[in-house]
């Protein structure tokens, strides 16, 4: 099975190869992957612990590029420059299927205008209505997928220790199977 870093490299290569910031992210992720391979760690191939290291490495690499503030992969999705399976859209936000689903249903809800909302911890007082709108949209798309009948989880990863890998605020809506806790 392909590791998370290998999958991330594949996504980056297919979609954003021309952006300087993303090229640097690609190099960082590749270096992290090589390091893990040298240590005999192959991400998902070697079980849960290795996968966690792999994802943390990718998150550290993404954080470095994020400080440059360039466009993210989600900006390309909003502009329809790369494909995504969009399940909901209004004037403020968009919801689409995660390319690397962690459950039978895995959606991402994002603001169309990132502004300062590269991550939740950057939110200001005047972002409150957008934050409410995103959460309410998560509720709507979950219902659209039938998850309101069984339950689901909404997750926001923030920063390196939160394992955030795309610096454009997004809510994960995850369901369709029994989830476990704690998330790890
Ligand atoms: P996070 O790690 O919380 O920043 O989540 C970023 C999410 O974006 C991951 O679950 C990725 O699988 C997902 N992702 C990255 N690129 C794409 C893409 N092109 N289309 C859909 N989802 C993506």
Give per-residue pLDDT as tens, 1-24.
455 545 555 554 544 444 444 444
Please state the atom number of ligand 1 nearest to the C-alpha of residue 156.
Answer: 3
Place of tokens 């809510």: 171
Q: What is the CA radius of gyration of the chain?
A: 16
* CATH domain 73-175 topology: HIT family, subunit A (3.30.428)
Q: Who lines ligand 1 at CB under 6 A?
A: 11, 15, 73, 82, 84, 98-100, 108, 157, 163-166
**Above 50 in pLDDT, residue 95?**
yes
**Above 60 in pLDDT, residue 38?**
no
Tell me the average pLDDT across 139-158: 98
Cβ pair 16, 73 in contact under 8 A: yes
| Pairwise pLDDT comparison (52 vs 96), residue with the higher score | 96
Burial of 184 (0-12, 13-18, 19+ CB in 10 A): exposed
Task: Tell me the CA–centroid distance for residue 165 and ligand 1, in Å.
Answer: 7
Predicted pLDDT at 13? 55
Residues of the chain within CATH 3.30.428.10 domain(s) are 73-175
Predicted pLDDT at 69? 75
Tell me the average pLDDT across 136-155: 98
CA distance 108 to 111: 10
Predicted pLDDT at 62? 83
Is the full-model pTM beyond 0.75? yes
Residue 18, CB half-sphere, CA atoms under 13 Å: how many?
A: 4
The yes-or-no answer on residue 42 being catalytic is no
Q: Which of 53, 106, 168, 170 is the catalytic position?
A: 170
């Amino acid at each position: 099975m392909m590791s998370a870093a290998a999958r991330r490299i594949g996504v980056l290569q297919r979609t954003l190869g021309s952006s300087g910031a993303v090229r640097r992210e690609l190099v960082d992720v590749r270096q992290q992957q090589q390091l893990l391979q040298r240590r005999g760690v192959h991400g998902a191939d070697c079980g849960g612990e290795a996968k966690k290291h792999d994802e943390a490495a990718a998150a550290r690499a993404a954080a470095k590029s994020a400080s440059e503030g360039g466009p993210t992969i989600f900006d390309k999705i909003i502009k329809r420059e790369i494909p995504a399976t969009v399940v909901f859209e209004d004037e403020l936000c968009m919801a689409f299927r995660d390319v690397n689903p962690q459950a039978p249903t895995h959606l991402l809800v994002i603001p169309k205008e990132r502004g300062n909302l590269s991550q939740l911890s950057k939110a200001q007082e005047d972002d409150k209505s957008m934050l409410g709108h995103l959460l309410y949209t998560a509720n709507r798309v979950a219902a659209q997928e039938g998850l309101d009948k069984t339950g689901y989880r909404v997750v926001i990863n923030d920063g390196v220790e939160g394992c955030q890998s795309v610096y454009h605020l997004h809510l994960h809506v995850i369901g369709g199977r029994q989830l476990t806790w704690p998330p790890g």
